[in-house]
Amino acid sequence: MQRVMAANLLQRRFFTQQRQIYEMTKIEAATITTTRRRVTEPCDVFLNHRCRDTKKTVASDHLRRNGFNPFLDNKNMKPGDKLFDKINRGVLECKIGVAVFSPRESYFCLHELALLMGCRKKVIPIFCDVKPSQLRVLNNGKWSHEDFRRFRWALDEAKHIVGLTYNSSKGNLSEIVNSATEIIIGSMIELENEEHVCADAHHQNMPIIAL
């Protein structure tokens, strides 16, 4: 089921790209092709997580096999990259965020979550060994008042989003990975359908200029 949905999504993307290239001049198409080779393809799924045991709930390799380009810090960053710049760009470029919650959240995990919520990205929560009602920010005294306010607001927003739950002592890891992947694929299809509808409406409303 996942492979069929992913194949349909990739096929739709392919035909959309072909139509866009066809509508451009040869010079523009050549320029875009050259640029794409030089610039890293933007991520479409941002994985917001804390530690190693939560990374496995949404395996990035599983997403890549289904045609996605997920952002995962240990795979998308290299020596010399500026941490905040790379993370912020990944959040801004993505279409969907997957937030994996654990009993304790780190500064960077909360920063990513606050940015995802602030940008109004679609977020799919996965509650790993924690209930939504248990999400709270524990101020360690090192964070600024503004950071504490942002993080608390982001967690309050996340509490009211329907998500997946995973109990590491009882749950089936393959099931949660498959469920998360299916939801991501379905959400991507919905978003791209909405984008196509908006694009078609925009083209229909464009004035016709007589030459």
What is the side-by-side order of every strand in the sheet holding 164-166? Answer: 70-71, 45-48, 96-101, 122-128, 164-166
Catalytic entry in 23, 28, 105, 112: 112
Identity of the amino acid at 160: H
How many whole angstroms separate alpha carbon 95 and alpha carbon 43?
A: 8
Partnered with residue 99 across adjacent β-strands are 48, 125
Helix axes 145-159, 107-118, angle to 10 degrees: 70
Q: Is 112 a catalytic residue?
A: yes
Partnered with residue 124 across adjacent β-strands are 98
Tokens of 87: 């993370």
Map residue 72 onto helix, strand or coil.
Answer: coil
Q: Cβ(177)–Cβ(57) under 8 Å?
A: yes
The catalytic residues are 112
